Amino acid sequence: MRVMKTMKGLTQIEMLMEHFENVDNISNIEAQAVYKIRALPRRIADLKERGYDFRAEWKRDLTGQRYKRYFLVSRPQN
C-alpha cells in the first residue's frame, strides 16, 4: 500500500483515526471537504483491516440525495 502524507503531515488513515477519537461518524462529503479524502469507502476498509469496526447507514440530505454515513462501532484492542 502506498502511503501519502497530507499537508498536515498525517496520512488519510491517521486523519480518520484522529477524527474517530472525537466523533463517531463521518460521511463521504465530510471526508472530502474536511480531509480531502476522495475514497472514503477504501479508507474505511483500511481501518477495518487494522481492527476497527463500522456500521453504515444510508441517509438522505435536504434535497433527497442519498448518501452513506459510517458509524464507528469499536476500536482495535491494544
Domain CATH code at residue 20: 1.10.10
How far is C-alpha 23 from the geometric centre of its chain's CA atoms?
Answer: 10
pLDDT digit string (tens) for 8-59? 689 999 999 999 999 999 999 999 999 999 999 999 999 999 999 999 999 9
∠ Cα 75 76 78 (to 5°): 125
DSSP 11-48: -HHHHHHHHHHH-SEEEHHHHHHHH--S-HHHHHHHHH
Q: Tally the domains of the chain.
A: 1
Which band of pLDDT confidence, cut at 50, 70 and 90, is reported for residue 78? confident
∠ Cα 47 8 15 (to 5°): 20
Q: Is residue 28 part of a domain?
A: yes
Q: Is residue 1 part of a domain?
A: no
Which band of pLDDT confidence, cut at 50, 70 and 90, is reported for residue 77? confident
Q: When comparing pLDDT for 78 and 64, which is higher?
A: 64
| Predicted TM-score of the model (pTM) | 0.85
The reported pLDDT for the residue numbered 7 is: 52
Domain extent, residue 21, equals 12-74
Q: Is residue 7 part of a domain?
A: no
